[in-house]
Amino acid sequence: MQINPAELPAGGERFHGTLSVDFEGVSGATEVRAPCPVSFDIRAERAGGRVLVSGSVAADLQVDCVRCLALFPYAVEREFEVSYLRAGSDKGGDEAELDENDLDLDYYGDEGIDLQQLLGEQLLLSLPMKPLCQTACEGLCSQCGINLNNEACDCKPEVDPRLASLGAIRDQL
């Protein structure tokens, strides 16, 4: 779904509904899936040379745990506001100093603003940097690879050979 800034009415336009979001090809999103359509409610309006898009997005995502690699559900609700400029309309060139207002700035091309891309980016921004299935996740055994949350293993921790002499001292005590 595209938002065409040239067709926006003077007072802006509201968009709401559900949309399927595919994270394939999005950098850093290989461990995120959206099995259900994403709910959104946004408003787009022209303000000078910019298009302001604000609203909210909600989704039930499936995310891989960074410790045990298990897939777990993660609910996301996010409110956002993004300013868009037409690609090539800025006069700053390649080297321009950014201020705080430019952190939520994006560009659109001839085809308009891609709503699927916008919603996908906002969902990714809602995720923690290192998602965990549970705060006490024990992860995977570094030797046999089993999930320590589900079963125990009999692997003995590897001892650094440089510290082996300290183990001998410990055993004498």
**pLDDT digits over 141-154, tens only?**
988 999 999 999 99
Query: Over the chain, what is the mean pLDDT?
Result: 86
Residue 97: predicted pLDDT: 66
**pLDDT digits over 29-69, tens only?**
557 888 889 999 999 999 888 899 999 999 999 999 999 99
- Burial (0-12, 13-18, 19+ Cβ within 10 Å), 118: buried
Stretch 92-100: mean pLDDT: 61
**pLDDT digits over 10-33, tens only?**
888 999 999 988 877 565 555 788
Closest CA to 35 of 130, 133, 123: 123
